[in-house]
Amino acid sequence: MCGIVGYLGSRKALPIIIKGLKRLEYRGYDSAGVAVLNGSLEIVKKKGKVSDLESAIGEKKLDASVGIGHTRWATHGEPNDRNAHPHLSSDGKLAIIHNGIIENYSAIKKELEKSGHSFKSDTDTEVLIHLIEEIKIQNKCNIEEAVRLALNEVVGAYAIVVLSEDDERTLIAARKGSPLVIGIGKDEYFVASDATPIIEYTSEVTYLNDREMAIMKDGSLTVKSLENVIKTPFIQKLELDLEDIEKGGYPHFMLKEIFEQPKSVRDAMRGRLVSASHSLVLSGIDQYLHRFTNAERMLFIGCGTSWHAGLIGEYLFEDLARIPTEVEYASEFRYRNPVIRDKDIVIAISQSGETADTLAAIELAKSKGAMIFGVCNVVGSSIARTADAGAYLHAGPEIGVASTKAFTSQVTILAMMAIYLGLKKGTISKSKYQELLFGLDTIPDKVATILGKAEEILEISKRFYQASNFLYLGRGYNFPVALEGALKLKEISYIHAEGYPAAEMKHGPIALIDEDMPVVFIATKDSSYEKIISNIQEVKARKGKVIAIVTEGDTEIKKMADFTFEIPSIADPLVPLLAVIPLQLLSYHIAILRGCNVDQPRNLAKSVTVE
């Protein structure tokens, strides 16, 4: 999950690296560090955020046109100055930054200690740079060959960039399981975990594949496999604008991204939902239509918010397309010997397209003959390249760690897929198909209507921001929304929150309810409306405080609830796209009132690229 940046060219490296680290800080903010090379290696690293690193650099003259930088999410070793990256070899002539985990580092470390190596940190990364140094000495080879040989000895995931004093105008990068992109400018090169530090300088990039390394020298880029086979890099244009990664006048990225949802949902539908003819064009499905319509089972795989989107997908696909569907946590999928058949379709959901557990689950499913359909946001990401087919969200960069617009875009894609397959399989009528498409077409405007009433959520937040616990309840399509609402609150405000099916409340959680317990009901007018009213009465009988998300014009629940927030009426399968918006705002405002950093919540990182 760490963020890495490298630069080689004619500009001053340090400003480029620092700016890049700030853009990658959503990937980790436990510590940060830089190394620049101008005759000798100069390193500064510091516990804390990139701003703390800037203070540590102060007035130091780190003039160089080649350098590397790192912002850390701690795995091996607590966050402190000595565990911060970059790490050095024994002789201080090699420096490395690393995103990932070297699983066999302990065994390698013991062998290196026998050879006289001593270590200054608790990290697996320092072991790797010492291994590269040892191989370079023992094999009397150059740094490029030493890196290649060392990476053939390690087990685990990595994206690395290496600097060597003996090869001053060279950057060496490599990846396996962790993302890495090379930016190609005019006689200059950029390396980063994703494209956000690069877009300001060039729009031409190449994404390294697993077990590939890039050797960047003045005026030349060579890509080769770890088997020493030269590769031809595929150069592509970035579909990213600089303004997309700026706050645009908002105080936080999360708030900006919440308010971008009318546009991001519309962009997810653009080119797919044809309003004029009330029809869908889904090329990713069409090329495998026979497999989709004859699938024996759908398997949704994801983590966190993406898992919640998949759970809504389960409701959609079973309700509309009548396809048996299961939703799996990617992190558990491989470890229970799952039954996967060649007529199964695995739909992998990930905002970044780099989630390590999801990628590992995909590899297992592919080996069993299942078809893989990717739903992700980042063009050129690992899931996009691994899947047989897929659909991009087109949501634009999501910088806030707590996912908002990516979630609604994911649900939009899944809704279109389920509606389309329902028509193709004959499990929904043509009139139902067009009714749902008309409803989808209205979602962006209805989201904008909800956002126009954001002040109402702020007033509710002021009443409950000091609560210690929250309960979120919903039925049917709204149960996954309850889970997502609870996750958002706990992620950024650090309040303990649980999402439950409303009917399950009486099987345990009702014991927690008292006058200090806020209970959020997603209580729209659907087929479960009368049941949800009964659940609200059960909470009120125990003096719980009820916050209800209700359908516009509802009067019955307003009489019972302490607070209500109205959302426009929409067909049941599309309610999650509206009901989640006030819950995102609720978590945001509560976190701000509690003084939390909503864009960089403690212990979390945006892209989980380690298992």
- The dihedral sign for the CA sequence 84, 357, 301, 285: positive
The answer to whether 340 and 366 are in contact (CB under 8 A) is no
H or E element that contains 42: strand 40-47
Rounded to two decimals, the pTM is 0.82
> Beta partners for 469?
496
C-alpha distances (whole Å) from 261 to each of 265, 376, 442, 444, 451 are 6, 16, 13, 7, 9
Cβ-proximal residues to 478 (8 Å cutoff; 6+ apart), any chain:
522, 523, 524, 526, 528, 575, 576, 579
H or E element that contains 544: none
**Residue 357 pLDDT:** 87
DSSP code for 598? S
The answer to whether 129 and 89 are in contact (CB under 8 A) is yes
Residue 278 has pLDDT above 90, yes or no: no
- The backbone region for 584, taken as left when phi is positive above 0, alpha when psi lies in -120 to 50, beta otherwise, is alpha
Mean pLDDT of 416-425: 97
Mean pLDDT of 64-74: 92
What is the residue-averaged pLDDT of the chain? Answer: 92
Spatial distance between the Cα atoms of 204 and 349, rounded to a whole number of angstroms: 27
Count H helices and E strands in the chain, helices first: 20, 27
Spatial distance between the Cα atoms of 234 and 604, rounded to a whole number of angstroms: 33
Mean pLDDT of 498-510: 86
Mean pLDDT of 139-143: 94
- The dihedral sign for the CA sequence 605, 193, 375, 360: negative
The answer to whether 150 and 128 are in contact (CB under 8 A) is yes
> Beta partners for 483?
none
Residue 60 has pLDDT above 60, yes or no: yes
Spatial distance between the Cα atoms of 551 and 336, rounded to a whole number of angstroms: 41
Number of residues that make up the chain: 611
H or E element that contains 6: strand 3-8
Per-position DSSP letters for 472-498, written without gaps between them? EEE-TTHHHHHHHHHHHHHHHH--EEE
pLDDT digits (tens, 9 = 90+) for 331-352: 898 888 889 998 999 999 998 8
Q: How confident is the model at residue 119 (pLDDT cuts 50, 70, 90)?
A: very high
- The backbone region for 470, taken as left when phi is positive above 0, alpha when psi lies in -120 to 50, beta otherwise, is beta
Residue 376 has pLDDT above 70, yes or no: yes
Residue 611 has pLDDT above 60, yes or no: no
Instruction: Return the active site residues.
Output: 2, 606
**Residue 608 pLDDT:** 62
511 residue type, one letter: A
Q: Coil, strand, or helix at residue 327?
A: strand
Look at residues 518, 314, 286, 530 and name the one whose alpha carbon lies nearest to residue 420: 286
Phi, psi of 82 (to 5 degrees): -75, -25
- Residue ranges and CATH numbers for the domains of the chain are 3-243 (3.60.20.10), 253-451 (3.40.50.10490), 453-599 (3.40.50.10490)
